[in-house]
Structure 1
Amino acid sequence: MPLSFASLGSGSKGNATLVTSAECRVLVDCGFSLKDIEARLARLDVSPNELDALLITHEHIDHVRGAAALARRYDLPVYATPGTWLKSGLKKLARVSMIAPEQHFSIKDMDIDVVTVPHDARQPVQFILGAGGCHLGLLTDLGHVTSHVLERYRHCDALVLECNHDRDMLQRGPYPPSLKRRVGGHWGHLSNEQAAELIKGIGTEHLQCVVAAHLSDKNNLAELAFEALVPLLGDDTHRLVVADQMHGAGWQSLSRRHAPCS
C-alpha cells in the first residue's frame, strides 16, 4: 500500500497519528508521555527507532506532552512552525526544522503540505501527507471551516477529521460558560455538524476513508459523530472509523483505486 495511517489515541487527553509510506514513517503530534507513546507504538508493531520525523501541529499540551522527550530519546528531527516552537517545550532540542504555513516539503518519499487553520494557538497548522498517488488530510483543532481549508482538502483520499462536540451536549454539559464559548467558537473546535458540512463542501468522490477524531469525552458520543457523518458516505459504514482516546484507530490503508478502509 502506498500510504497507511493509524491513530494512537485522540481526544482532549492526548493525540498522535502515525503515517507510513513505502520509505517513510512520521508521527504527527505526541500528546502522550514518553512511556505511553512507546506502548501505543508497540501496539502497532512499530518501534520509535523506526520513525523518520515528528511533525507538530501546535503547542497545546494534548499535542506536545511527550514530543521533546521522544525526540531526545530517539534523536528525531522535529518539524514545527516558529510560533509553535516558541510556545512549546521544543526550544532546547537540537534537531528542529522550522516550517511555514502553506509550505511544501518532503521526507524521503512522503510529500507534506502545511495548511493554515483557525485555532487559538500561536501559529497552528495541519498537514496533508502524500505518497504513491494517495493523500491523507489531517484536520483537527480548528474552530470553523474556511474556504481555504475546503480548497486544500478537496482532493484527499482520506481524512482524520475533528468531531469534537455535539452542540446540544456542549450547551447542556458541565463546562463553565467561558469554556463553552471557547470550544464552540470560531477559534475552538469543530462540532459534528461542522465536520459534516466540511465533508459536504469537499465532496466524497475521492474519499476512501474518514476517521472521526478528537471527540470530547464530556460533550460528544461516538454514535453521534457516526450518525452525523455516515449518511454523507452513502451509508457505507466501512468508510467511517471513530478514533477514541484510549485505543485510537487501527491501521487504515489507502490505494490508488477507490476502496474502503482496510
Structure 2
Amino acid sequence: MLEICAIASGSNGNCYYIGNNTDAILIDAGISTKQILIRMAERELDPRKLKALFITHEHGDHMRGARVLAKRLQIPVYITAKTYNNAYKNLRPDYPRFFKPEDVIEVGGFSVYPVLKNHDAAEPCSFRVKYHDKNIGVFTDIGEACDNVKTHFSQCDSVFLESNYDEKMLWDGHYPWPLKKRVASDLGHLSNDQAFQLLDEHGSEKLQCVFLSHLSKDNNSPEKAFETMQPLSERFNIKLAYRYEASEIFTLQ
C-alpha cells in the first residue's frame, strides 16, 4: 500500500505526505508544526511513521515549520547546503542532512531522487519518490519544465503538479508589474496552460492520479485550473490540493 496526501498546498504553505504501511516522509514543511499535525490527524495519518523531511528550497512557504517539526518528531531534515545557507537563520533545522542534486537518498524503504529545476532559489529541487515499482512526484515551484523535470515526471504513477496561475488573471490582476513578470518568468511558476502541456506530453499511461497543486489565491481558481485540464480528464484522474486543509488521501494500486 502507498498513500499520498497534500497536507498543504499554496503560497501560504506547502507540505506533501507519502507513506506506506510502516514508514512515511514529508516533502516540505511550509506551515506550522501544529497545523501539520492537526491536518494529519484529521486524515488519520500517523506522525510516528514519519522517517524524514525533505526540503525543496529555502522559501518560507516550504520550510517555515521544518525546524520545529524535526525537533518535535526527532526526524532528519534532508536539504542541500546551498538551500540551507540561503534560508533565514531561524528556519534552518538544527541537524541537517545535506544532499547533492545527483544523490539518491534511501529512507524507510523509499528511494528519493532529487530533481534539479528552474526556480528563483539557490538550488531548487523537486523530488521523485520510489517505493517498490511505484513513483510519486512532487513538481511545484517550476518556472518552466526542463528536460530533467520531464524525464522524472514521465516515470510517475502519481504526481503533485503545480498549476499556479491563469495567464489572463495574472496579467489583468492587481500584482505589481515586476511581481507579474517574476511569476510568469522561466524561474517563476507553472501556469495552468504549462501544467496542461507537461501532463499532456509527458504523463505516462501508468499515471493514476494528478493533484493540481500550489494554486494562486489571487491569480487562479479551482474552476479555472480544472477547466484548463478538462480535455485530459478522460486520460487522467485529476484532483485538487488545498491551501487550508489536507486533500483526500489517494491510495496507489
For the residue of structure 2 that corresponds to 1:151, the secondary structure is: helix
* 1:112 to partner: Cα distance: 0.8
Contact conserved, 2:117 with 2:149, CA < 8 A, in 1?
yes
Moved more, 198-207 or 174-183: 198-207
> Residues of 1 paired with 2:27 and 2:172: CA distance?
33
Alignment-derived partner of residue 44 in structure 1: 43
Shift of 1:205: 1.0
How many angstroms does 1:23 deviate by?
A: 3.3
Task: Give the distance between the partners of 1:5 and 1:166, measured in 2 at CA.
Answer: 26
Q: Are 1:249 and 2:250 matched, yes or no? A: no
Question: 1:59-78 maps to which residues of 2 (within 5 A)?
Answer: 59-78=58-77
Aligned to 2:139: 139
> Partner residue of 1:258?
none
Q: Which residue of 2 aligns with 1:209?
A: 209
- Measured after TM superposition, the shift of residue 46 of structure 1 is 2.7
- Normalising by structure 1, we get a TM-score of 0.91
Q: Is 2:78 the partner of 1:79? A: yes
**Structure 2 match to 1:184:** 184
Gaps of 5+ in 1: 256-262
Does structure 2 retain, via aligned residues, the 8 Å contact 1:204–1:233? no
CA contact (8 A) 2:156 2:204 kept: no
C-alpha separation between the residues in 2 aligned to 1:144 and 1:84? 20
Instruction: Report the Cα offset of residue 65 of structure 1.
Output: 0.8
Q: CA deviation at 1:235?
A: 6.3
Say if 1:203 and 1:27 are closer, same or farther in 2 by CA, change over 3 A: closer
Contact 1:23 1:109 in 2 (8 A): no
Match of 1:14 in 2: 13
CA distance in 2, matches of 1:87, 1:72: 21
Kindly report which structure 2 residues correspond to 1:158-169, keeping only aligned pairs within 5 A, or say none: 158-169=158-169
Q: Separation in 1 of the partners of 2:203 and 2:83?
A: 31
Contact 1:115–1:125 at 8 Å: present in 2 too?
Answer: yes
Q: Secondary structure at the match of 1:93?
A: coil
- Indicate conservation of the 8 Å contact 2:66/2:93, yes or no: no
Percent pairwise identity: 37
How many positions carry a matched residue from both structures?
251
Q: Which runs of 4+ in 1 moved over 2 A?
A: 46-50, 88-92
Query: Could you tell me how far apart the structure 1 residues matched to 2:48 and 2:115 are?
Result: 28
User: In the alignment, is the contact (CA less than 8 A) between 1:13 and 1:245 conserved in 2?
Assistant: yes
Q: Any idea what SS the aligned residue of 1:126 has? A: strand
Matching residue of 1:93: 94
What is the DSSP-based 3-state SS (H/G/I as helix, E as strand, rest coil) of the residue aligned with 1:17? strand
Between the aligned partners of 1:46 and 1:235, the Cα distance in structure 2 is: 29
Q: Cα distance, 1:91 vs. partner?
A: 4.2
| Counterpart check, 1:223 vs 2:223 | yes
Q: Could you tell me which residue of structure 1 aligns to residue 53 of structure 2?
A: 54
Note the aligned Cα RMSD (angstroms).
1.5
1:21 CA displacement: 1.9
Spell out, residue by residue over 1:139-174, the C-alpha distance to the aligned partner (whole angstroms, 9 max, x if none). Answer: 000100112211122121111000000000000111
Question: 2: CA distance between counterparts of 1:50 and 1:170?
Answer: 40
Unaligned runs of 5+ in 2: none
Matched residue of 1:196: which SS? Answer: helix
1:225 & 1:170 partners in 2: Cα distance? 13
